[in-house]
Amino acid sequence: MKATAIAIVACAGVLSAPSLFADAKKDAKSQVEFGISVAQRGLWREAIYRWEKATEIDPTYAAAYNDLAIGYEHEGQLDKARKAYEKALELDPNNSQVRQNYELFKEINDRTAQKEK
């Protein structure tokens, strides 16, 4: 009887896992979308908070890392921006838009690095 109950619970867990995963993706996406809408209104800190949350919910979400990198860049946190861009490219190496953002970022970063010489 006990074994049957455990088996049922285990089965339920296995069956509900994909749906939980899908929910997490959906939640992360809504955080990203909300972040975009507030960034468009100039509320960058709120946007960063949302995108950070999205990357916590779904650490494989390349677009969230890309947006987060842009937010950090806008705030002048260049080290964090570089790490976020690199993570976005690691997750989605063929994304030309992420790559373009990263190239533009590097131009600025190189300029500041040049000053360090």
- In the complex with another protein, the residue whose CB is nearer, 4 or 42, is 42
Question: Are 63 and 74 within 8 A, CB to CB?
Answer: no
- Selected from 56, 97, 106, 110, the binder of another protein by CB under 8 A is 97
32 makes contact with another protein (CB under 8 A): yes
CB of 16 to another protein, least distance (A): 26
Q: What is the DSSP string of the chain?
A: -HHHHHHHHHHHHHHHHHHHHHHHHHHHHHHHHHHHHHHHTT-HHHHHHHHHHHHHH-TT-HHHHHHHHHHHHHTT-HHHHHHHHHHHHHH-TT-HHHHHHHHHHHHHHHHHHHHH-
Among the residue ranges 2-10, 11-19, 106-114, the one whose residues contact another protein (CB under 8 A) = 106-114
31 makes contact with another protein (CB under 8 A): no
Q: Which residues form the interface with another protein (CB under 8 A)?
A: 29, 32-33, 36, 39-40, 62-63, 66-67, 70, 73-76, 78, 95, 97-98, 100-101, 104-105, 108, 111-112, 115-117
